[in-house]
Amino acid sequence: TQAVCAVGMFELQIHYFENPLGLLQNGDCCDLQAGGGQRCSARDQCDTFFKACLKEYQARVVPSGPCTFGLGSTGILGGNSQSLRHRGHDGGGRGEDGAIGHIVIPFKYAWPKSFSLVLEALDYDNDTSESGEDGQLIERVLLSSMLNSGVQWQTYRHHGRPLTLDYRLRFRCDSNYYGPFCNKLCRARDDFVGHFICDPNGSKVCMEGWTGPECKEAVCRQGCHQTHGNCTAPGECECHYGWKGPLCDQCVTFPGCVYGSCGEPWQCVCDVNWGGLLCD
């Protein structure tokens, strides 16, 4: 079995981008220049894709350097401009992937809330002769921000030259992880270790019939005597030695006691007009 170490995932969705002139950051055309020389070709537009580099919070984001928290990229999302629709506004099932402008970066540590992000729009080129780089830079977004964990998206807009961009971010805890930092583990179970589910804060909530801090103490039948009865499964009432009855609140008389009763186990207190050891 694989060790489960991830506590959550950082998610980025590209919503919309617009690069009306089809330019790179350096002012050149992504691809072909149109015949006249002034404009970039409308036919061979930019082949725009995005790369995200997530790192620890930096007051001034350094665009180079390692992506300490992880990295990811989208596929080619279209030409110069594109508006993307994402299935399910807030649901966001796990089926979504980079193909539609969705980047998921699994996160293995407690989510620190503050982070820095280097998000680059790049133009993909078919001819690999260019260089070792995987694309030419169209726009670079440098963001330092705070993000609370949850299913809610936080929306951002970048107004750049040449590209304007709408995107949104969220950080979601993996299943079994809870809390603002996604580092509180709670795994629902129903066995001898405990009988509980987890609430939205990751606290144990005992299943019906179970109690105690670990939810492994059974709740006995209602009315079951606190000291003379006991149970190992919910709703039961098992009597201690010398006690009987559905609620274990009746004492057992001395063996052979005929016309007598008890206040304590093993007594034989004779009824009126009866006598003897066995009241017979």
Binding site for Ca ion (CB under 5 A): 31, 44, 47, 123, 125
Q: How far is the CB of 127 from Ca ion (least distance, A)?
A: 9
SS3 at position 120: strand
Cβ(224)–Cβ(248) below 8 Å? yes
Q: How far is the CB of 72 from Ca ion (least distance, A)?
A: 21
Q: How far is the CB of 135 from Ca ion (least distance, A)?
A: 8
Which of 209, 179, 184 lies closest to 194 in space, CA to CA?
209
Q: How far is the CB of 44 from Ca ion (least distance, A)?
A: 4
Report the DSSP beta bridge partners of residue 238. Answer: 230
Q: How far is the CB of 32 from Ca ion (least distance, A)?
A: 8
By beta-carbon proximity to Ca ion, the closer residue of 35 and 263 is 35
Burial readout 78-88 (b: 16 or more C-beta within 10 A, e: otherwise): ebbbbebebee
- Two structure tokens written together for 107: 């996160």
By beta-carbon proximity to Ca ion, the closer residue of 90 and 130 is 130
Burial readout 22-32 (b: 16 or more C-beta within 10 A, e: otherwise): bbbbeeebbbe
Report how far apart the first and last C-alpha atoms of the chain are (Å, whole number).
71
Residue tagged 């220049």 (tokens): 33
By beta-carbon proximity to Ca ion, the closer residue of 11 and 47 is 47
By beta-carbon proximity to Ca ion, the closer residue of 133 and 208 is 133
By beta-carbon proximity to Ca ion, the closer residue of 11 and 31 is 31
Q: How far is the CB of 38 from Ca ion (least distance, A)?
A: 18
By beta-carbon proximity to Ca ion, the closer residue of 125 and 249 is 125
Residues 177, 17: Cα–Cα separation, whole Å: 34
